[in-house]
């Protein structure tokens, strides 16, 4: 039998474990579906030999009957199955119920990420991507996302990349 101080400590440990578990999924209320995050557009902002910056426009779709308030996000982008860029955004946005919102974020890649992809870009207009990360929803964490799709390359990265707008494939 545990003495009262050990029993109190065990109870506190169980309560902390329960709060931690709740915090991991507090971004969504019970029964809500995760929003879908996809790349709607990608554009080269600037760069030098060591670092390149891209402006990504992300489409966040909310399949729920309640709005979702997003405070920001963290993300990483893989192209053709290889790590490419990562970034954060602190632009707050409310995703309307059964609606969508566009969020502009800056992604940064280094020389290694660009060189890994350069051969794969050559002669291509579109590239497969995977974007994963976390939508920050408040004090208790957020909502993880992981989506794949296809997007046209920014003008100048592929020989035929003509900037005809985004193409999504689900």
What residue segments make up the domains of the chain, in order of their start? 4-152
Total residue count of the chain as it appears in this document? 170
In this predicted model, which residue has the larger pLDDT, 81 or 118?
81
Contact 44, 11 (CB under 8 A): no
- The class level of CATH for 4-152 reads mainly beta
For 113, the enclosing helix (H) or strand (E) is helix 111-121
Averaged pLDDT for residues 79-96:
91
CA distance 107 to 56: 7
* pLDDT of the residue at 154: 62
Q: Is pLDDT of 40 > 80?
A: yes
Report the pLDDT value the prediction gives residue 24, as an integer from 0 to 100.
41
The yes-or-no verdict on residue 2 having pLDDT over 50 is yes
Q: Which residues partner with 21 through β-bridges? A: none
**126 — pLDDT class (breaks 50, 70, 90):** confident
Q: pLDDT-based confidence at 8, cuts 50/70/90?
A: low
State which H helix or E strand residue 84 sits in: strand 82-89
């Amino acid at each position: 039998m545990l003495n009262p101080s050990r029993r109190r400590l065990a109870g506190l440990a169980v309560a902390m474990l329960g709060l931690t578990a709740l915090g991991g999924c507090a971004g969504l209320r019970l029964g809500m579906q995760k929003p879908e995050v996809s790349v709607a557009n990608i554009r080269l902002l600037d760069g030098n030999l060591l670092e390149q910056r891209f402006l990504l426009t992300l489409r966040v779709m909310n399949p729920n009957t309640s709005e979702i308030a997003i405070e920001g996000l963290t993300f990483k982008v893989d192209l053709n199955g290889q790590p490419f860029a990562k970034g954060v955004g602190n632009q707050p946005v409310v995703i309307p119920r059964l609606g969508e919102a566009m969020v502009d974020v800056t992604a940064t890649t280094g020389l290694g990420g660009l060189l890994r992809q350069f051969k794969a870009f050559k002669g291509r207009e579109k590239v497969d991507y995977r974007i994963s990360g976390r939508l920050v929803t408040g004090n208790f964490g957020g909502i993880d996302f992981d989506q794949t799709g296809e997007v046209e390359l920014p003008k100048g990265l592929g020989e035929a990349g003509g900037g005809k707008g985004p193409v999504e494939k689900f």
